[in-house]
Structure formats: structure tokens, C-alpha cells
Structure 1
Amino acid sequence: MTDLDAADDARPTRASTAVAAAVAVAAAAALVLQAGVATPAALGAAGAVLMALLVRAAADQRRAAGSAVASLLVLPVGAGIAAATAGTLLVLSGTLFPVPSAEQLPGTVVRMVAQAMVVVGGVTAVFGAGLTAVGRPQRADVERAAGAALATTLVPLGLGLVGVVTGLLALAAESGRSADLGGGFAGAVGGFSEAVLYPSPVRPHLATFLALVGAATYLGAKAVAALPVTELVADRETAASVERGQRRLAEVGLAALAPVPVVGLFEFALGAEGLASLLPTVAFDGLTVLTTLRGLRSLALWTALAGLVVLAGVAALRRAARTSGERVGDVLAPLVVGTAATLVAAAVAGPAVDGAVQWVAGTLPGAIGEQFDLIAGRLVEAIGARAIALAAVGVTGLATGVVLTGLWLVMSLGYVDDRTAGVTVASGTLFAAAAFAGVLSVDPLVVLGALVAAVVVWDVGEFGATLGAEVGRHADTRRTELVHAGGTLAVGGAGAGVALLLADAGVDAAAVSGGTVALGLLVGLAGLLSLVVALR
């Protein structure tokens, strides 16, 4: 192994990476099985593996292909996150509730939270193992992955929120609650519509008319100028005439827009009676008819909007022409995937929402499930299954973006090193899951094994990262790595044995809901950490 080889590939070594990932997954599986929530945990673990692949895809040098793959993984990852969190709580609530008596409620709540945290910690440990297995993710890779996730969710989340808010306002207005909110929103929409498209024909509305006509004329001229009209005309004189016409139209539009503030101020100050006394009757009536003509106003508004769309499209095409294809694909891929997900969600909204409501209602205990079914049915009827489905898809993708943004934040703040991000996440969350498992009636051997596994994952993973940076990933260091891993495991086993002996001797410190936290376990863990540090 030469220095050039080491510099060429300084990722963590393979043997240590494999050991750390395998130990983390095995310990997480043991804890989750003890927690007794297998299905949501399995779905969450699948989502965790896909999230690690999402980060890896975002790091691909082929930006367009990597962004497309990452975007396709956003929603499955979000579904896994939802299963590991909300799904776990739903399943546990259906299993643990209702409680026989109010006295048992605090203990049941503690148990449910502890079981849920064991699942979340185990799933996150699988994510850390996945990051370890796919390579050494950099902070920029996580940032790109988070950006792809957030961009993918823009279309479904935006459309879903619009539908949900509109439905809730309609429901509030119908039920008489929040009438001020509903009335204010409706009043604002109605006022805008009246001022722009449907002004009352009792006086001239010259200011808004000039604004619409001026905007339509100016934006229409600019849109025609942006399009390759003159390039398609063979005659030079005709092309020159077209260009002059475009400039004149733009000037006319600006001339119409210029007096709008002054005219609007005069209209507001004089009112209908003042205008009628100032203008001759024929002029007053003629301006009233002209400036309140709905067809002309509608044509001007749509012309202005079309001009804006053309200008935006031409600007986007020009920017794309100056940008590499990889960059364009990187930007467009999440939007395309999000739009496709929106179309699919809208197509299957009815059966999907009904099935989800029935599953949740059937999972929740007793009367709570029945009440949820009634409330959810009314909301679906008022808001619409399509809006709810789009909002659910958007929130699912948003969950992926939020988790990845959180990882990027802790990496940016220096709490997680790029060099050992995967093993740090795996060992830390595995340790937390083992701590919560100690509250439950989990076999102390499993809890101790998970604590030892957390230290082994951290120590072996960091050793592999250090060794890979020094001699390269492909160096023949397998024997050294396995010896190191075996030594760490032996030290951990010795510490666990001491803890079990002390626990069997009866040195118990506290008990919460039937779960015992042994003083011997804490002493053994402290000795374990001390020995590992001494070995390093």
C-alpha cells in the first residue's frame, strides 16, 4: 500500500465497517424484539436502510441520476419514519389501553413511551449502520439529500395544504365557528375579485382599468420580444417593423401604468359623486361602461398572466441553456418525482384514505377508535379525500427532509464528525435504546449486550476510520481489525459479566414499572468504558 493508494481511497476499512454495521443491526433487532412491536419496527428499519441509500445517491458525482434516485426514495423513507413513530404509538395504544384502573395509567404511559423509544432508537441505529456500510457521508452529501427531500415534497405538500385549509375554512363557516376567520378570508377574496374583474358599474374605475390594460400591454410586448419572432421573419424590413411595434407597445403599457397612483388617489378622494360633478354626463357614463366591461378586464388579466408565464419560461430556458445538463437534472428531478407522486396520490386518494382511517380506527382502543372514525369521516367529507391524500404525501416527504436536515445540523455544529458519522449515530442511539429498554421487563442480559454492542460499534468504527485514513481502505489490515474487534468484545463481555454478578448479588438501586436498574449494571458499564479507553 502506497501513500497514493491511501490518499486515493481513505474511507473506513472494510472489516471494521462490516463488524460495526453487523453488531449494530443485531443489537437493535434484539432490543426491538424484546419491545414487542415487530411490524412498525421492521417497516422503520426498511426506511432507515433506504435513507442511508438516499444519502449515498445524493453523493453520486452524476448529479442528475443521483438526485432522481434520491427523490424516488424520499417517500418510502418518510413512510418508514411514520411507521416507526406514529405507527408504533398507535399499535401500542391499541395493545396497552384501556387500563383496568386509573392507578395503572402512569405506569402504562411510561411503558408505552419506553417501548416507542426503544423502537425509534433501534431504527435509528440501523440507519447509522447503513451510513457506515455505504461509505463515509460528508456534510455536503447530507445537505444535498435534505434538499432533494424538501424539493420533492413541494408540489404535493403545497397543493395538499391549500385543499386542507380551504376545506377547514368551509367547515368552520358551515358550523358557525371561526366565522370571523372564514368571513375575513372570503371577504378578502371577494374584494379582490370585485376590484379587478367585477367592479360595480356605478362610477368609472379608471385606476384598476389602466393598471390591467397597462400591465397586459407591457407584459404582452415583452413576451413577444422574448420569443424568437423576428428570427422567424425572413424579410429584414418586416422584422424591423415588428421590433418597433414591440417597443411602442411596451412604451404604451408604461404610459398607462404611470398615472395609476394619481388617478387612484383622485378616485378615492372624490368618490362617485365628485367624479359625476367633475365630468360631463356623457364622459362619466362612457368611462363607467368602458372601465367596468368585464370581458375587457378579463382579457387584460389573462393577457398579463400569459405574458408573465412566457417571460418566466423563456428565462428558465435561457438559464438552463447556460447550465450543465447535470445541474438541470439535479434541480428538476425532485420536482418531477414530486409531481408524479401527486398524480398517483390524487388517483388513489379515495380508497387509500378510507383504508387508512379504517385501520387507525380499528387499531385505537374501544370508544376512542369509534370517536376517531366519526371525526375523521366528517373531515374527509368536508375537506375531500384528495386534499388529505396530497397533504399526507407531502408531510411524509417533509419528515424525511426534517430528519436529514437535523443530521446535517448536528454535523455542522461539530457534534458528529464526517469521518465517523455512521458509527456515532448507530452507537449513540443504540445506547439510548438500551437505556429505555432498562425501564421495561427486558432480560438484563439483552440490555447489557446492547450496551456492550454500542461501545463495540463506536470503538471498532472509529478504529476502522482512523486506519482507513492512514493506510487506505484496500490495505491488508483484516487480521489487525479482527484482533482489535475481538479485544473490545472481550473487554465488553468481561464488564457485562461483572455487572451480572453484581446484579445477582442483589445490589439493586431502583425499580420503575417492574423494570430493574441495577447498580451493578452501572458499575460494570463504567468499568467497561474505562477499560475500552485504556485499550485505545
Structure 2
Amino acid sequence: MMDEHADAERDRSRTDWAPTRASTAVAILGTAGGAAALSSAAGVAKGAAVAVTGAVCLAAALWLLTFERWRAPATFAASLLLVPAGAGVAVGVGYESLVAVAASFPAPSPTRVSGEMLRIVGAMAVLWGCTVGAFGAAASAREVATFRSVSRCLGVVTRVAVLPVGFFLALAGHALVTNLELGVAGALGGLVSTATDWLLAPEPGRLHVLAFALLLAAASYASFRALRGLPTRELAGEASVGDVRVADALAELRRNLGRFAAVTAMAVPPAFLAEVALPAEMLRDALPGAVYDLLAGLTAAPGLRTLLWWVALVSGTLAVVAALVRRSSRTSAQDLLVGYAPFAAGLAVVAGVRAVHRPVLDALVGFVVGRLEPPLSEQFGNLSENVVAFYGPETVVLGLTAGVLVLAATVIFALSVSFVLGFVSDRAAGPALAGGGLFLAAAFAGTLDAPLWVVLGGSVLALVAWDAGSFATKLGAEVGRRAETRRVELLHVLAALSLGGVAAIAAGGLARVVPTGPGSGAEFGGLSVALLASVAGTVLLVMALR
């Protein structure tokens, strides 16, 4: 109750404030400008544009999940947005990875392999840094990136992915069973037939204690759960049979079934040991002939086993339905719609894949083949044709969609872990992600022969975006959303830019002064020295601003 009260108080407090507009605009524009410059300098501008679009969709999904009114349609829309969010990141990163590999390999010489691999890693780091920075900047507009919203988004994306992943596994499994000429279908059919015979039609004239005990325990426990979940007392009312009330008789039956289910469950381990460890002849010799024949006939009776099977199945179904109805009766209609909205979105995704899978697959294969050089393009074309012929185009596209949702879930999970570990906090999480992502991109851009002014400018913009966004959050929480704060915000931003400019000039000057080359006693290039100096300058900038 205390946690729910604290959450409610936090929600009410968040409606009374918002990050101030001027500083938030500076953080967003600074992040956008820095990401554009760094991605262009690193040669990943196209992939960054697509991945950033996905990051903005993710931020929009988090924003929709904060709605208190129209929660059901907002949750449904957020669930659908998670598909382009994951697809944008996957396509952007995949495209640039494909381009980088095609441009770097085959390497001119074996000694260049490690260098080309490092170049690819640097390009991917710049791309991910720009993507994280864009997400943080978009989330800072309304400060929607909180641990609560991220945790809720993780639950939503998990429920959205259930149906696409389930249908994909079913279709892929069907393709494997029907297309592999390894006797898989026969083996599976034989396995199912053996299990069915063991459970429902065993060999007569022998003891089959384990399967009978399992069926008896399942039937008694399912009946107990059904009687416990169904409104038997309300349905029976005051009806009676003789001097016994029907409701009291059903309650006593429920209690006895519970006790009987516990006893039969405890009998399963001894039955397993008796059937596995003891030979059948030993059991026959240990028991009197009449007792053994009675037990053998009872435990091997197909009619009795079938009856227990259907009792377990029907009672279990009734217990599940009763639990769902009872839960629904205690939950408001809006909460039910909100809970089922992600599943409806997952069903819509499956239906959309079924409708447009062929043109989507042709476009993807054609795009990848067009970016590869021979003979890789021919090998990929042949491989894709074989995979599509084996699994079918719908299964392939559904698998890609399921993978996109899994990627989105992974990204959101990593974001929630960053909250748990304390890397970001509820207050100013967006600016922290914006500044951290942009600084990561600037740091690795320095390893890709990016221009000196781009690296230094990206470092300064990273700190300015973080400081301006944090200041917007703090000032908005203190004075509210309607106070006039533009002059104070502009002065704060000008001070940050001035100190950042001084740090950048100092770093550039140091890069020109420090000697380089074999005779200098160090192998540092000018750009590397400038990058280290820019890091020191930004640290001093933080100390001065704080």
C-alpha cells in the first residue's frame, strides 16, 4: 500500500511541472546537430537516420504509456509503435554493418584485418551513440523516461511479442517436420503414439502404477480447483437433499478432494521408484495373486483411464475459466482493455505480416543484394531463395518481425537495467542518455579520422545537451511550468557554451603543440591527443558548472 501511495503521489507531482522549454529545446537541437555531424563524419549518416527514427518511436511509445486518460487506445498505439521502433534500430544498424563489412572485406592484406575490424567497431559505436542520444533527447521533452514507464514498456513489448513469436515457432516447426527427409514426422508421430498408449491404453495384465497415479492426482486436483473456483455456494443457494444442504455437501467434497489430491501426489514418487527400479516379476511375487490381478486390472483399465483424463481436462478448463472470470470481476473494464491491448496489437502485427509479407520480403532481399559485391551478392541471393523455399515467405517475414520485437525488448531491458544499477535516475534520465550517447559517439568518431572540429564540437555539445536538459528538469520542478524562465535559461546555456568553447580551443591548441611521430617518444597522433584533452576539458566544464 505504501508503494502504491508513493506512486500516486509521484504521478500527481509530475502533473504539476514540466521541463522548461528553452533549455529542453537547446538539449534537443544540440543533440540533433551533434548526431548529424558525428554520423556524417563517421560515414554512418543513412543508418543513423533510420535508427534515430526508431529511437524517436520508442520515446513516443513511452510517452503514450504515461497517459492517464484514454489508457487503452494509448497502450494499443504504444504497442504498435514498438514494431517500427525495433525495426528502425535493426535496419539502421544492420544496414551500416552490411556496408562496413562490404567495404572492408576482403582486406587488402592479412595485417589489415584487425584494423578493419576496429574501424567497424568504431562506426557501430558512433551509430549506437547517436541512437541513444536521440532517444534521450526525445524522451527529455516531457521527461517520460522513468523506471516506472520503462518497466511498463518492457511488460508491454513482452506481451506484444507473444503471438508473433508463437506463430513463427509453429510455422517454422511445421516446415521442419514436413520438409526434412529424416523421419522427423514419423519419429514425432511414434513418440506421441507411445505417450498416448502409456497414458491411456497400457498393456493389460501388468501393473502400471505410475501413469495411473499421475492421472488420479491430476483429476482429483483439477476437480478440487474447479470446485474452489466456481461459485458453488451461490449457485446452490438454500437447496438441500434431505437434511443435507447442497452447498455444505459441495464444500465437504471440495475439502476431501483436496486431501485426496495431496495423498495421490505424495504417492507419485514411490510409484515412480517402484516402476523404474523394481522388476515386474518381483512385484508379482511380492503380492498375493488376487491382489496383484485386481491392481493390474484397475491400473490398466482403458475406460477408467480415459474417464480420469477427461475429468482432469474438463475440470482444469473450468478452473481456468473461473479464475479468469473472478479476476475480471475484480478488475475494471478499462484495466482489462489496457491489459489485453498489447495482445491485440500482436494479433494485428501477425495479420499485417500475412497481408504484406511477399512485397516486404522481395524489397528486403533486393536491398541487401544490391548493397553486396559479387560473389557475396550471388551467395546471399541463393541462400535467401533456399531459405524462403524451405520455410515459406510468410514464415521468414514473421520471423524477422519477431526478431525485431525481441530486439526492442532487449533494448528496453538494457534501459531498465541502467535504472536499476543507478547509471540514470528518474529525474533527468533523458538528458543523461542524450549527453552520454553523444559523448560516446564523439569519442569513437576520433578513432575514424573524423575532423578535429567535429570531435571537439560533439564533445562540447554532449555536455551542453546534458547540462541544459538537467537544468530544464530541475528548474521546471522548482518553479513550475508556467513561470517565465527563458532569460535565466539562455544565460545558463551561454555560460556552458563559453566554457565548452574554451575547453575545445585548449584541446585544439594542445593537439598542435604536442609533438608526434617516431622521434617524440610516443605514438599518439594529434587527433588522439586532442580527444584526450577534450575529455579533460569537459570534466573541468562539469566541475565549473556544478
Q: TM-score range by the shorter chain?
A: 0.7 to 0.9
How far apart are 1:412 and its partner, in Å? 2.5
Q: CA RMSD in A?
A: 4.6
How far apart are 1:85 and its partner, in Å? 2.5
1:135 — aligned with what? Answer: 143
How far apart are 1:430 and its partner, in Å? 0.5
2:472 — aligned with what? Answer: 464
**Could you tell me whether the CA contact under 8 Å between 1:84 and 1:123 is conserved in 2?**
no
**1:485 lines up with 2:493 in the alignment:** yes
1:421 — aligned with what? Answer: 429
2:7 — aligned with what? Answer: none
Determine the C-alpha separation between the residues in 2 that align with 1:524 and 1:372. 44
How far apart are 1:49 and its partner, in Å? 0.6
One of 513, 517, 520 as aligned partner of 2:527: 517
Determine the C-alpha separation between the residues in 2 that align with 1:198 and 1:529. 76
1:20 — aligned with what? Answer: 27
Structure 1 residues 230 and 141: alpha-carbon distance in aligned structure 2, compared to 1, 3 A threshold: closer
Task: Say which SS state the counterpart of residue 527 (structure 2) adopts.
Answer: strand
Structure 1 residues 218 and 10: alpha-carbon distance in aligned structure 2, compared to 1, 3 A threshold: closer
How far apart are 1:494 and its partner, in Å? 3.6
Deviations 1:41-70 (A, max 9, x none): 222111111111122222222454443333
Structure 1 residues 383 and 514: alpha-carbon distance in aligned structure 2, compared to 1, 3 A threshold: farther
**1:395 lines up with 2:413 in the alignment:** no
One of 447, 451, 457 as aligned partner of 2:455: 447
How far apart are 1:346 and its partner, in Å? 5.1
2:280 — aligned with what? Answer: 271
How far apart are 1:128 and its partner, in Å? 0.8
Determine the C-alpha separation between the residues in 1 that align with 2:87 and 2:255. 52
Q: Relative to structure 2, which stretch is displaced further, 415-424 or 18-27?
A: 415-424
Structure 1 residues 339 and 17: alpha-carbon distance in aligned structure 2, compared to 1, 3 A threshold: same
Structure 1 residues 216 and 253: alpha-carbon distance in aligned structure 2, compared to 1, 3 A threshold: farther
> Structure 2 stretches of 5 or more lacking a match?
1-11
Q: Where do 1:163-312 residues align within 5 Å?
A: 164=172, 174=182, 192-200=195-203, 203=206, 205=208, 208-209=211-212, 211-212=214-215, 215-216=218-219, 219=222, 223=226, 236=239, 261=268, 269=278, 271=280, 287=297, 291=300, 293=302, 300-312=308-320
Structure 1 residues 193 and 521: alpha-carbon distance in aligned structure 2, compared to 1, 3 A threshold: same
Deviations 1:415-460 (A, max 9, x none): 2132211111111111110111112232222222111111211222
How far apart are 1:90 and its partner, in Å? 1.7
Aligned residue type for 2:58 = M
**Could you tell me whether the CA contact under 8 Å between 1:508 and 1:518 is conserved in 2?**
no
Deviations 1:77-113 (A, max 9, x none): 1112212323321232233333333333333222222
Determine the C-alpha separation between the residues in 2 that align with 1:121 and 1:281. 76
1:332 — aligned with what? Answer: 340
**1:106 lines up with 2:102 in the alignment:** no
Structure 1 residues 408 and 210: alpha-carbon distance in aligned structure 2, compared to 1, 3 A threshold: closer
Determine the C-alpha separation between the residues in 1 that align with 2:383 and 2:281. 51
Structure 1 residues 225 and 170: alpha-carbon distance in aligned structure 2, compared to 1, 3 A threshold: same
Structure 1 residues 252 and 412: alpha-carbon distance in aligned structure 2, compared to 1, 3 A threshold: closer
> Structure 1 stretches of 5 or more lacking a match?
none
How far apart are 1:10 and its partner, in Å? 3.6
**1:438 lines up with 2:454 in the alignment:** no
Deviations 1:197-218 (A, max 9, x none): 4534564646535653674577
Structure 1 residues 386 and 275: alpha-carbon distance in aligned structure 2, compared to 1, 3 A threshold: farther
2:484 — aligned with what? Answer: 476
Determine the C-alpha separation between the residues in 2 that align with 1:216 and 1:199. 18
Q: Relative to structure 2, which stretch is displaced further, 233-242 or 339-348?
A: 233-242
Structure 1 residues 393 and 296: alpha-carbon distance in aligned structure 2, compared to 1, 3 A threshold: farther
Structure 1 residues 200 and 401: alpha-carbon distance in aligned structure 2, compared to 1, 3 A threshold: same
**1:526 lines up with 2:531 in the alignment:** no
2:8 — aligned with what? Answer: none
Q: Relative to structure 2, which stretch is displaced further, 216-225 or 481-490?
A: 216-225
Number of aligned residue pairs: give it: 525
1:41 — aligned with what? Answer: 48
Aligned residue type for 2:196 = S
**Could you tell me whether the CA contact under 8 Å between 1:97 and 1:365 is conserved in 2?**
no
**Could you tell me whether the CA contact under 8 Å between 2:50 and 2:88 is conserved in 1?**
yes
How far apart are 1:26 and its partner, in Å? 1.3
The normalised TM-score by structure 2 is 0.78
Aligned residue type for 1:103 = T
**Could you tell me whether the CA contact under 8 Å between 2:438 and 2:462 is conserved in 1?**
yes
Structure 1 residues 285 and 382: alpha-carbon distance in aligned structure 2, compared to 1, 3 A threshold: farther
Deviations 1:214-271 (A, max 9, x none): 7457746864785578978999469977996897699689869966747777766463
One of 71, 85, 94 as aligned partner of 2:79: 71
How far apart are 1:522 and its partner, in Å? 3.8
Determine the C-alpha separation between the residues in 2 that align with 1:496 and 1:221. 74
Aligned residue type for 1:114 = G
